[in-house]
Structure 1
């Protein structure tokens, strides 16, 4: 049995570190460039595996050198890649600018991820054996919906990160158990900026919501119970890339282990706080022992 299955993207992150992000028409001189394995799906898989989860990845890498490195990175973190396919052509890439405040802006080019339009052979059988399915929106929506519907058929909990933010079809929300947007994604989906009001609106569409609030922590809301806000550790952020994915991966592990929600959120926040103190996405994700020591 696989505790957590991730249906999602794998990208090579091409990261430029700059004093400030360039405005339109502006050229800035960066201080460093790094090539770092990433993608929201792969990031969540690595985060969950390092946090102690039994994790398998469904998706696709390209037939290029990036594809080989992306697969190796997942396997090195303990992620099962038997159903990670290789699509002819380039792997997905994310072009990231990180400023000196730790903020980032990102352009994603799907590459091989765009070839994943539905579940493939063996995918549903793997999902059926899991406790939770993690989903994001860097694959075609048809594949995300296919995975969520398969999970529902087999009584598997679905955890959806609605990023990059976009309108979600009602049929996807109908088979989503836990929605985990950040505050900006929540505002886009709910049409209201206040996180508490956004959570209230989103609960009309899904049974549980966790809204991540950056340095302010996270807000949990569920139908029929009072919302709970969990603070985040106070740290100095170096690079926030991958922090949300680290949070979701660690949260999934804690929930699969049966921890109470508030404890699970605190543990996931500790993982994300460790992540932002290091550069990169997958390379910055903490291991279980580190999270335990920090929480």
Structure 2
């Protein structure tokens, strides 16, 4: 059984529906990735690593992870803080706008609760995933411990996957994000960026520029998401361009990239070729954006993903 650990933050999601009714759920990029990977590949051992408190929202979030069949062994309950909260609103085109309350969330303290014994149990993992959001929410004083943990995992043969998922408001400055992303690129085996990430942070908009930027790093597998149009994959010196079928009716683009990441990583761990992994991951993202919220109904998702 392949073992995967995804590190990040899960928040209480408030989504405004018809007549101003608020719908409550839980979401966060690494958490969403974990949920969709587990749904598509239930035989894989998928763990979500984060920090929770002892409050009622933390209780519900922990149970939510259990209901998603995630392994909760790395979901610590030692923090005195609560989970973060965000409000998402969508327009008629499915595009989102967010309001966040996460400055004092428990997830920001995750590295304070990871000890040597816990890291030892991660050394037999096949893959560890983290994102730019995972990095941004960790207190800056705790990031050296985070990098030390990842270096130890990589030295033990654990593959590391990273999605930059750059969100300017989470960083003190672009320079801070660039420095932290540089550390990430140095360790990453599988990089899953969107072209938008490079455009916003580095001013790079052309594929050739992005490939040149990544060239000095020892990235084994580069998967560049070109919005709703296509995906570029570079494995070694082999560059593949894979178009994506358009979705006629987009309801909510929340979690499109997260679902892609989870299904892609699950497929690659299951031994699928890149073309098959991208096709299945793109299909998953197309399903997700036809439903409101980050996490679609499980039965609908699995049924539609398994349709020929």
The TM-score with structure 1 as length reference comes to 0.86
Tell me: CA distance 1:158–1:289, structure 2 relative to 1, closer, same or farther (3 Å). Answer: farther
2:27, 2:263 → 1: CA distance? 16
- Whether the 8 Å CA contact 1:275–1:284 is kept in 2: the answer is no
1:288, 1:144 → 2: CA distance? 34
What does residue 27 of structure 1 align with? none
2:124, 2:4 → 1: CA distance? 9
Moved over 4 A (4+): 284-289
1:144, 1:232 → 2: CA distance? 38
Residue 268 of structure 1, CA deviation: 0.4
Unaligned residue ranges in structure 1 (runs of 5+)? 19-29
Deviation readout 1:83-106 (Å, 9 max, x if unpaired):
201221211222322212111123
Tell me: CA distance 1:10–1:79, structure 2 relative to 1, closer, same or farther (3 Å). Answer: same
What does residue 200 of structure 1 align with? 212
1:270, 1:91 → 2: CA distance? 31
- Whether the 8 Å CA contact 1:8–1:59 is kept in 2: the answer is yes
Between stretches 267-276 and 160-169, larger displacement belongs to 160-169
What does residue 39 of structure 2 align with? 50
- Whether the 8 Å CA contact 1:113–1:138 is kept in 2: the answer is no
What does residue 173 of structure 2 align with? none
Tell me: CA distance 1:194–1:173, structure 2 relative to 1, closer, same or farther (3 Å). Answer: same
Higher helix proportion, which one? 2
SS at match of 1:44: helix
Residue 125 of structure 1, CA deviation: 2.6
1:152, 1:175 → 2: CA distance? 7
Residue 271 of structure 1, CA deviation: 0.6
Deviation readout 1:136-177 (Å, 9 max, x if unpaired):
133316165344323312211111111234324333211111
The TM-score with structure 2 as length reference comes to 0.83
What does residue 265 of structure 1 align with? 278
1:92 to 84, 94, 119: 84
Residue 10 of structure 1, CA deviation: 1.3
Residue 276 of structure 1, CA deviation: 0.5
Provide the alpha-carbon RMSD of the alignment.
2.4
SS at match of 2:150: helix
Tell me: CA distance 1:119–1:206, structure 2 relative to 1, closer, same or farther (3 Å). Answer: farther
